[in-house]
Amino acid sequence: MATTQAPVVPPKRRRIGVLTSGGDAPGMNGAVRAVVRMAIHSDCEAYAVFEGYEGLVNGGDMIRQLHWEDVRGWLSRGGTLIGSARCMSFRERAGRLKAAKNMVLRGIDALVVCGGDGSLTGADVFRSEWAGLLEELVTKGELTQDQIDPYKVLNIVGLVGSIDNDMSGTDATIGCYSSLTRICDAVDAVFDTAFSHQRGFVIEVMGRHCGWLALMAAISTGADWLFIPEMPPKDGWEDKMCEIITKNRNDRGKRRTIVILAEGAQDRHLNKITSNTIKDLLTNRLGLDTRATVLGHTQRGGAACAYDRWLSTLQGVEAVRAVLDMKPDTLSPVISIRENKIMRTPLIEAVQETQKVAKLIENREFDTAMDHRDSEFKEYYLAYRNTATPEHPKMILPKEKRMRIAIIHVGAPAGGMNQATRAAVSYCLTRGHTPLAIHNGFPGLCRHHNDKPLSSVREVEWVEQDAWVNEGGSDIGTNRNLPADDFETTAKCFEKYKFDGLFVVGGFEAYTAVSQLRQAREKFPVFKIPMVVLPATISNNVPGTEYSLGSDTCLNTLIEFCDAIRQSASSTRRRVFVIETQGGKSGYIATTAGLSVGAVAVYIPEEGIDIKMLARDIDFLRDNFSRDKGANRAGKIILRNECASNTYTTQVVADMIKEEAKGRFESRAAVPGHFQQGGKPSPMDRIRALRMAIRCVEHLERFKGMSADEIAADEQSASVIGIKGSQVLFSSMGGPDGLEATETDWARRRPKDEFWLELQDTVNILSGRSSWGGGRRMWGQHDS
């Protein structure tokens, strides 16, 4: 048989293929874009395999080289633009033999596969058979020994694209948060109808073997009852569900009823539970006007949310790095995320653990199945169960261990504040504590402390907090003022209301407030109570954490704004928009949004702006537009943090670009302003608010029974809960190793070391700006 000569590829210029397989998930396009551009940046060539493994088997035009401009605008597109198909022929050795031949003929020796566990299993099998496949191709005369010699090793890297979030070893899969957003939007939309008519709604979401979507949707929408495959309800669940729903409606005044179930819902005997079964049960037994809704494939569609955009981008970049790092004996990795850290996990281990859960469910070993889910999943499940049914008898503490816990919001409003308060109140009521809401921050506490009718401190009842489940902003009010403005009155209020613990939700002002109270303990002993800060600020600038409530909501509203602006810029073909972002003296929001929308450049306070930087960026834009000639929808976006420079304002930068363009292209300024604070909080902010608020109350509980001096002596008595790398932990504020002394840049109101700064390099790499000398390494760090 005649053979086709394989191209000769220089050793340093590797060819990396990328394919999407199985289903589709929002964010897959972002992963492909990142792989393509990172490969080109790394002096490699990028090839897309169209229609998944089908394209790999058929070859020809289904394997095509992609260039830099080919993936422009892909971040905001839904589905997968290179196609996805379930390929039966690849499951057979004969199909894999054809695939191996096509890869050798194309000179491709590495493959990045984005798909579910089945697709990744197939990829790992392909790699394990690679040497044998090549030998067989030579034996059959389809390839020569010279052709296969450069390709003795196949490197495989996996990216998990799945809306179900069913892969073990990772907190999130590409697409899961976008799908969760669709679900929450749908449930939020029926809230008003359900409330107006006192109706019940049964919502069925996707998830045959994994209940992640259903669980997170139940948390995000305050569902009355939940069905997931990992933990079926116990026998007699019909009575228990009706009892809870009746209590919620009659005793707690709840006018709407929401039940959420995964499509794989079943009882403990593996009998399927359907949405219609639940609807009929509520209608016939409770006389409830009930509707059933199956959301179906609407959950898969649409543009990716902010989280999936930056997750897919960072994982795509890491996949290329992993390819270049791999050696012949390196196990195929899958790129995962734990809390806030991108990691590499052995692919086969993750797949085996994932498949083990499904088998445990089939064998009705439900408790073991839950144990084999990530610890975060089980924690969320327990948190939902303990707050959805406040009268859980095993949770109530004896009277001597109950506390009066004050809840206060400090700083600017942020998405998730209400949800954190709701979670804290629910958990307090579950435990028997008394939750006390302080209205309008520290000024509200002090203003009416002698005027009981106008008192801003009051107990919160269950029915009130339920309304906060999807509300943005701060229902109890927030204020930037600090306790140091009036320590005397603040101390009198603490004494008057007999606070046993203080739960503070807010940004850098909240952090500062607890710092002031801690330092004032010697003069005002009443402050010797445990205090904890739950960071909530769109700026994400609180020391002790890499994630603050509200930052994800802000990112989603900002990319929605940027997508609309880019559409305008692209329609006119030759326009640059300079968009001003909030964030104070922290560039986190600008940088992460830049990663999520594919910005040309991002200007942040940590780097500042100078004339040389602007000149280089204008040259970069000139070159882009001259080569593009308007043919590829060449709208551009530049993001500028509000505090990046006092001189080079957003309008000034836009005017300079317009002036220097000399008519070749246009420039406009746009300021979304407080639109960035968001409306309804994103699902991520809602669920993390629940998880972290409960942990905060649990943290306060451990100080009950300690004397005031013992509390003050414990450095953890004034702390911040946060995500650091792959962990959720409490960081003490005081002491020689505390946050105040080691991690806080008080002048700039941000942490001394900002974990996300390295993302600036990624923004510059993927925009092509780094090749023009832009970016942190060239300009260094300074404030303007």
Positions marked active-site = 164
Task: In whole angstroms, give the CA distance from residue 677 to residue 552.
Answer: 10
Annotated binding site for ATP: 23, 86-87, 116-119
Instruction: Give which of 226, 549, 204, 239 is closest to 382, Cα–Cα.
Output: 226
Whether residue 507 contacts residue 541, with contact meaning beta carbons closer than 8 Å, is answered with yes
Beta strands in 263-312 (DSSP E): 290-294
In 3D space, the residue among 155, 163, 15, 157 whose CA is nearest the CA of residue 80 turns out to be 163
What's the rounded Cα separation, in Å, for the pair 591 and 536? 18
Residue 543 phi/psi, 5-degree rounding, is -60, 145
How far apart are alpha carbons 593 and 606 in whole angstroms?
16
The tokens describing 545, both together, are: 């954490």
**Residues 666-670: contacts with CB under 8 Å, at least 24 apart:** 666/572, 666/574, 666/575, 666/576, 667/575, 667/576, 667/577, 667/578, 668/575, 668/576, 668/577, 668/578, 669/577, 669/578, 669/579, 669/580, 670/561, 670/565, 670/577, 670/578, 670/579, 670/580
Q: In what order do the strands lie in the sheet with 666-670?
A: 601-603, 636-641, 575-581, 666-670
Query: Do 311 and 173 contact (CB within 8 A), yes or no?
Result: no
Write the CA distances from 761 to 95, 642, 766, integer angstroms. 40, 20, 9
Residue showing tokens 């929808």: 633
Residue with tokens 């003050």: 712
Instruction: Indicate the burial class of 269 (C-beta count within 10 angstroms; 0-12, 13-18, 19 or more).
Output: exposed
Binding residues for substrate: 162-164, 199, 206-208, 263, 291, 297-300
Return the sign of the alpha-carbon dihedral for residues 168, 169, 172, 174. negative
Q: Which of 145, 176, 66, 61 is nearest to 112 (CA)?
A: 66
User: With contact defined as beta carbons under 8 Å apart, do 56 and 63 qualify?
Assistant: yes
Return binding residues for beta-D-fructose 2,6-bisphosphate.
480, 537-541, 575, 582-584, 642, 668, 674-677, 749
Whole-angstrom distance, CA of residue 275 vs CA of residue 272: 10
End-to-end CA, the chain: 69
Alpha-carbon distance of 640 to 594, in angstroms, equals: 10
The two structure tokens encoding residue 780:
């260094």
Residue ranges in 527-649 assigned as alpha helix (H)? 551-571, 588-597, 611-628
Helix (H, G, I), strand (E, B) or coil at 749: coil
Distance of CA 393 to the CA centre of its chain: 34
144's CB contacts (< 8 A; 6+ apart) are: 3, 138
Q: Per the annotation, where are the binding residues?
A: 23, 86-87, 116-119, 162-164, 199, 206-208, 263, 291, 297-300, 480, 537-541, 575, 582-584, 642, 668, 674-677, 749
